[in-house]
Chains A and B, each alone.
Chain A
């Protein structure tokens, strides 16, 4: 009998498979597609490197020749640019001052194969229809469709790594839309994009748009292909009335630096639209099950944190799964510390994202200030799981409060309508009660 069934073979599922296999835990991974398959989310933060190293995947990343990402650059509406280099802050245990941009169809396939090579039984072309529960309410398997057949597979634990399909969240009705964010992204691949100076051409570039929470990503996929994505609030996207090409063009032309970068660009694939991607499940664990990666929560792609969160959720999750198997206890209680840890980390990102969108000039200010630059960089490197460690968030919030209170503050008109009151439903005190798992 399998100990663990993993639903989904994206980065979260594959990396979970790796950690479980490394711990000698028998696991089966069920993937609906047959890889390779395309996927959004093409840039990473540097903290991902630690996980790749732990699972022995870093040499593969290097061998594949994924583009090295040494930093990030922001372009405002007046053509001014602010940039950061990852090498400005050394991260313990990470020996390279860069991370990667990737063609996800290649990365995800390689990770899946890596999990397989480590001992995970990978089965593709299998769609999980529902998670099965026993009479005590414990998840104990899945009902899956293989070609025309439906079969039931059983295990002691079920891990939902189904990404934005959010299988368990939908089945149990625990999925909640984000109260603040409701963004849409339209993206495609282009050739002949003028990416930047010699130093910054392989950075991720973010261009501000003249609409609230609007921005564009520029991610180099390889030597000649660049991914460009226009992100804006759903209402703005809906004004396009279905003419995606015109919508995309309009916003490309609304930022001068972007317009220049795209002057000779040629699109080489179809536009894809991503929406309804800001949500959270009420629970990340239950009796017999655990949610990891996007299946648990996704916030916003602005800081490229998605893949990193997926990887860390797999890493931390695997530690609690090990405990559960050792204790032969698969209850929600024994898995709960994983949820507390992940919510703490995601809430740091969430706060950072909200403060960022609240007052855009503030962000470039904090990057340029000697005092806070390094702390912002640490956040951008994806290092922080403990809110108490992040003084810069408190400083950003204070700054915004000053702007709000000061009558003729120059930035008053730049404030957006995002609420920045205390984060709902989660207290920092809970984090310190959780025993820290092995690093």
Chain B
């Protein structure tokens, strides 16, 4: 699965409880209330575990978590 698919499924299955249907890569996760701040933390924990990646505290910014797209880009950039 691509980074995008991994992230997308996790968010849909674990965090976006009650949301029907898919989450598009460009959907505004925070703006549309798909995830909340506690969800962000769970997402960070998931990414760190799943991708074996340490996310710097300063990187927990709106730009990086805006959408599944933005987040995948961030993750892919840091996997190298």
Contact = CB atoms under 8 A, between A and B. Distances in A.
Interface stretch (A19-27, A250-258, A323-331, A405-413): A405-413
Interface in B1-58: 30, 36-42, 44-45, 57-58
A403 interface: yes
Nearest to A398: B57
A410 B42 contact: no
Given A368-B45, A408-B63, A410-B30, A361 B57 contact: no
B41 A368 contact: yes
Contact of B57 (A403, A407, A408, A414): A403
A90 B37 CA distance: 32
Interface in B53-75: 57-58, 60-63, 65
Contacts of B36: 78
Decide if the interface of chain B is mainly helix, strand, loop or mixed. helix
A76 B60 contact: no
Interface residues of A, number: 20
A403 B44 CA distance: 15
A5 to B, nearest CB: 51
Contacts of A405: 58
B37 A406 contact: no
Contacts of B44: 365
A369 B65 contact: no
A316 B64 CA distance: 51
B9 to A, nearest CB: 19
B62 A399 contact: no
Contact of A402 (B40, B42, B45, B57): B57
Interface string A57-94: 00000000000000000001010100000000000000
Contact of A408 (B39, B42, B45, B62): B62
Contacts of B57: 398-399, 402-403, 406
B72 to A, nearest CB: 17
A409 B65 CA distance: 10
A146 to B, nearest CB: 56
Contacts of A399: 57
Nearest to B40: A410
Nearest to A78: B36
Contacts of A364: 38, 41
Contact of B42 (A368, A403, A406, A411): A368
Interface in A202-224: none
A78 B38 contact: yes
A361 B39 CA distance: 10
Given A78-B36, A410-B30, A361 B61 contact: no
Contacts of A398: 57
Contacts of B63: 408
B38 A410 contact: no
Contact of B61 (A76, A80, A407, A414): A407
Contact of A365 (B41, B61, B65): B41
Nearest to B61: A408
30 contacts: A361-B37, A361-B38, A361-B40, A364-B38, A365-B41, A365-B44, A368-B41, A368-B42, A368-B45, A399-B57, A402-B57, A402-B58, A405-B58, A406-B58, A406-B60, A406-B61, A407-B61, A408-B62, A408-B63, A409-B60, A409-B61, A410-B30, A410-B37, A410-B40, A410-B60, A410-B61, A410-B62, A410-B65, A411-B60, A414-B37
Interface of B: 30, 36-42, 44-45, 57-58, 60-63, 65
Interface of A: 76, 78, 80, 361, 364-365, 368-369, 398-399, 402-403, 405-411, 414
6 closest Cβ pairs, A-B complex: A402-B57, A408-B61, A408-B62, A365-B41, A361-B37, A406-B58
